[in-house]
Amino acid sequence: MIMETIIILVFVFGYLAITLEHNLKIDKLIPALIMMAVCWAIVALGVDGFSNWFDSSKHALVEGFSSLVHDDKLHLVEETLLHHLGKTAEILVFLLGAMTIVEIIDYFDGFSTIKGYVKTKKKKKILWIFAWLAFVLSAIIDNLTATIVLISILQKIVKTREDRIWFAGLIIIAANAGGAFSPIGDVTTTMLWIGDKVSTGMLFKYLFIPSLICMVIPTFIATFLPAFQGEIESDDVADDGPKSQHSATMLYLGLGAIVFVPVFKTITHLPPYVGMMLSLAVVATFAEIYSRSKFSMTSYNDEESAAHANHSPVHSSLSKIEMPSILFFLGILMAVAALESLGILFNFADSLKESIPLMGTELAGTQVSDLVVMLLGVGSAVIDNVPLVAASLGMFSEPLDNPLWHFIAFSAGTGGSMLIIGSAAGVVAMGMEKIDFFWYLKKIAWLALIGFVAGSFAFMLLRSFI
């Protein structure tokens, strides 16, 4: 029991360091990686002191673990570590592929095509345009990337920062809502999808309407606020248009390739990262062809070859990928895996079900509280939603497409909108526009809360009809 307590303390202190990264001025990937390494080191060194071991493939405790000899226990630790590394790698390789495709689109200035949709000066209309774009784009290219793209476009359209931060606040809400109903729209939803907890069709069926309500209601309320009355200041600066003649082609090709991934998984039943690698290869092929057309093939000497290598869209895109995020996910998911392997999360889930008042319906023979899941959504606003969802994967044993998993996907995806630090979309918007934490708390958080609660009740109502 002492060893379990030490691991929990390591996890708690690591978690605090991640949450307070802005105060400590230490990137959150550092405590995540330390937490992972230390937790597994304690597991390996103190394996004889543990009474339980959790088999994640069977989602049950290993019988007679305490009676096994030391070598057998170590072998079990190695097998479990390899299993969790494989599952984590599936998510990371998938994200690497998606990030690279998005960077290739950006290399050709593909997202500038979207700016052409905005032809009005009225703030209300611009708000609705960006809310819908955020909702749709986040479902295709993920909420983080959609937020970056739309705020970049917003900076070219709305020149006054005081106006722009209001739009950015609603973009965060809409992007997180749009990411919840898509298997590729949010990291947490992707985790549930790759972990065979939700399927693409049922995820859309369960969460599209709640997610839509979560976006529409706050946006509708916002149209009555003074910040969205009147028109934006006109900009007389001429727009140079896209930097590349292939901008629109690469935008539609890239988005189509990402959307193809769930289709590929449905047809072949292979893990999603395989389809994402195929999509990346296709997009990269066209990118290289379009890029190479700038060079004369008849005089393609060594100097030009080196120039092409430096300006290759694939090389350029790979160099821009956010590796700190990838390493953070590796650290946090593997650290949670250590807690899961010792049966700590499994036992915690059982005690949670018994201690919190049950408000939910009977699901797969067990009762799981809607309140627990909604609290998970509120928790994701305060602390990172990735470890919360990773923990829920180890806590609950409900089968594929059980409503519980869909509610977790919705809560973790949209709950983070209530604080600007509660989601990746919020954090990136905070950095791009220097949005103050307390300004967001006063002006935007209540809109996000209304959307979250309305969407949650819509899900509970819809669940009874599916």
pLDDT for the residue numbered 236: 47
Antiparallel, parallel or unpaired: β 366-367 and 60-61: unpaired
List 366's β-bridge partners, or say none. 363
Q: CA Rg, the chain, in Å?
A: 23
Say what the pLDDT of residue 350 is: 65
The DSSP bridge partners found for residue 362 are 367
Specify the pLDDT at position 355.
Answer: 62
**Which residues are registered as beta bridge partners of 61?**
54
Please write the tens of the pLDDT for every residue from 210-268: 999 999 999 999 999 999 998 887 654 445 556 678 888 998 998 899 888 888 988 99
| pLDDT score of 298 | 43
Element (H, E) at 398: none
Domain spans of the chain, in order of start? 95-188+241-323
DSSP code string of 318-376: HHTS-HHHHHHHHHHHHHHHHHHHTTHHHHHHHHHHHHSPP-S-EETTEE--HHHHHHH
54 forms beta bridges with 61
Write out the DSSP string of 10-51: HHHHHHHHHHTHHHHT--THHHHHHHHHHHHHHHHHTGGG-S
Burial class (CB in 10 A: 0-12, 13-18, 19+), 420: buried
Residues with Cβ within 8 Å of 279's Cβ and at least 6 positions away in sequence, in order, are 97, 101, 257, 258, 260, 261, 264
The token duo for 129 is: 């345009």
> Is the CB of residue 369 less than 8 Å from the CB of residue 78?
no
**Can you tell me whether residue 399 is helix, strand or coil?**
coil
| 180 within 8 A of 410, measured Cβ to Cβ | yes
Residues of the chain with pLDDT under 50: 236-238, 294-309, 358-367
Q: Does the reported pTM lie above 0.75? A: no
Residues with Cβ < 8 Å from 139, sequence gap 6 or more?
178, 179, 181, 182, 184, 185
Distance between alpha carbon 225 and the CA centroid of its chain, in Å? 30
